[in-house]
Amino acid sequence: MKIMLCCNAGMSTSLLVQKMQQEVAKRGEDIEIEARPMNEAMDHLNEADILLLGPQIGYAKGDFEKAVAGRIPVTVIPMTDYGRTNAPKILDDVKALLA
């Protein structure tokens, strides 16, 4: 499975990606996680199984949903989980969405 996180410039999600990767390793799961800035993400949507948007770009969810045309889920990470870098909860949410 491949998760793409997207934010304004790709920087604010880097800490979250690190925490998520640590959680994936702890769980022994085969999940690839990458962060991309919004201006690059559109060109790489075909590489992801799910797209997670940082809360600061939640306004762009509709544009991304149009771009993926239902092929993959697009969701906004809840502000509290994002702010706390709550990797276990975010990964659980991803699994629920893909189940």
Which entry of 4, 6, 7, 38 is annotated as an active-site residue?
7
Q: Is 6 a catalytic residue?
A: no
Where does residue 27 rank: exposed (0-12), middle (13-18), buried (19+ CB within 10 A)? exposed
Which positions are catalytic?
7
